[in-house]
Amino acid sequence: PGERVLDACAAPGGKTACLAWAAGDGGSVVAGERSSRRLALLERNCARIRAAARLLRMDAKRPPFHEKFDLVLVDAPCSGLGVFRRHPDARWRLREEDLGVQARRQTAILQGAARAVRPGGRLVYSVCTNEPEETGEVATSFREPGFVPIRGGGALPEGAKRYLEPDGSLRITPGDGLDGFFAMSWRKEGGNC
């Protein structure tokens, strides 16, 4: 509550809505989307569910903010292979080399979005895939000065902590009966933690 939050890759808007509700009256959420078409979808969905967020067209690789946000979420565009149990066609739409392209894009977005995190703030990277190129390899390649991985799960519900890895990441596999998902978070040194 009361935090300034940036959802850097916001469409279609489900996470934006959750962030807006969690931010409460004293907080604020800015939701950015690069694509005009996806921004229009974000606008419709936020209006439909009455999510209070400032929406803007922006490239998450170059956000128009510097050290402004308490929390920056990068739910990056990805292969989507973690949802193949619900969308089996997902695996047939990709070529192996697409994973490298996605990973480079995700890394660039993560590095760009990191500039919007204030000292003491948090950066969260998430994708709905379990492919190493898009998960651990992106997290490991993130080397922005002053960012330290958050370990131990922080504010995660107890039931979710079983998915934590020793490196601090959260990894859910389709074998768990859920969609595949990966998340990693960092705190930017300085400020009031």
Percent of the chain scoring above 90 in pLDDT: 73
33-70 tens-digit pLDDT: 999 999 999 999 999 999 999 999 999 999 999 999 99
Pick the catalytic residue from 46, 78, 128, 193: 128
Residue 32: pLDDT above 90? yes
CA dihedral 98, 186, 148, 1 (to 10 degrees): 170
> What's the predicted TM-score (pTM) here?
0.92
75-87 tens-digit pLDDT: 999 988 888 777 6
Please tell me the distance from the alpha carbon of residue 88 to that of residue 96, in angstroms, as a whole number: 16
Please tell me the distance from the alpha carbon of residue 121 to that of residue 132, in angstroms, as a whole number: 26
Residue 117: pLDDT above 70? yes
Residue 91's pLDDT band (cuts 50, 70, 90): low
Mean pLDDT of the region 112-134 = 96
Residue 15: pLDDT above 70? yes
Domain boundaries 77-193, CATH class:
alpha beta
DSSP line for 73-119: EEE-----GGGTTT-GGGGGS--HHHHHHHHHHHHHHHHHHHTTEEE
128 tagged catalytic: yes
- Domains in the chain: boundaries: 1-58, 77-193
